[in-house]
Amino acid sequence: MNTNSVFDLSPPEKLQLVEDLWDDLAATTPDAIPIHDWQQEELARRKANLQSHPANGVSWEQVKSRIRSRYGR
């Protein structure tokens, strides 16, 4: 790869770079990835809401089904 910047990469090369970076982050321990206070507060709010109203929760299978029906995949 003879480029001076990631902005010089072709679209397929950029996609590959993003995928490689994402895979590397996914292999990182969760505590090594910083999380903002507002994100932590939002997660706590959502968890409390789900614990208070478990019937409002949606299973992962339902989520996938909705996405697939919406986007045809």
CA-angle at 14, arms to 29 and 8, nearest 5° = 130
Q: What is the mean pLDDT, run by run of 10 residues, along the chain of 73 residues?
A: 82 96 92 93 96 92 94 81
- Is there a contact between 61 and 67 (Cβ–Cβ < 8 Å)? no
Does the global pTM surpass 0.85?
Answer: no
Q: According to the model, what pLDDT value does residue 2 have?
A: 60
Dihedral class, residue 72 (left if φ above 0, else alpha if ψ from -120 to 50, else beta): left
